[in-house]
Amino acid sequence: MEAPVRVLVADDEEDIRQLVCLAVRKAGCTVVAAVADGAQALRSARDERPDLVVLDVSMPEATGLEVCAALRADQTTAGCRVLLLSAGASSDDVARGLAAGADAYLPKPFTIAGLIAEVRELTAAPRA
């Protein structure tokens, strides 16, 4: 039997964090940690080594963009996939997210179905 996909969720809004965790579980994945700020996200990613990290862009301690760049710069976490969530939906916002190393960018508000589909897509194939 294949090991479940391990996901770290980071969002400073508790309601959104719970909603993302629900979507991750509905996508068939396991939530290894759900944290409220960027510093916790980075620590948890290094400790847990998740397959996917779902990051809010606007968080205290470190932004999702800063966490994403730090994950990419660290050999132990460079291979995990990163999905950024943000209220910023302009093409510049998306470009900044992808430039920081994100695999995908989902603007808020998002639908549960859309988030589940994105999680499934990101976790379906090995990272290139």
Please report the domains of the chain, with CATH numbers, ordered by start residue.
6-116 (3.40.50.2300)
Q: How far is CA 98 from CA 28, 40, 72, in A?
A: 25, 22, 12
Residue 128 pLDDT greater than 60, yes or no:
no
User: Which comes out higher in pLDDT, residue 22 or 90?
Assistant: 22
- 50-103 pLDDT, tens digit per residue, is 999 999 999 999 999 999 999 999 999 999 999 999 987 778 888 888 899 999
Q: Pick left, alpha or beta for residue 101 (phi over 0 → left; psi -120 to 50 → alpha; otherwise beta).
A: left
Q: Pick left, alpha or beta for residue 49 (phi over 0 → left; psi -120 to 50 → alpha; otherwise beta).
A: left
> Average per-residue pLDDT in the chain?
92
Residue 1 pLDDT greater than 70, yes or no:
no
pTM given for the model: 0.93
The answer to whether 103 and 80 are in contact (CB under 8 A) is no
Average pLDDT over residues 5-11: 96
Task: For residues 61 and 100, give the distance between their C-alpha atoms in angstroms, rounded to a whole number.
Answer: 17
Residue 2 pLDDT greater than 80, yes or no:
no
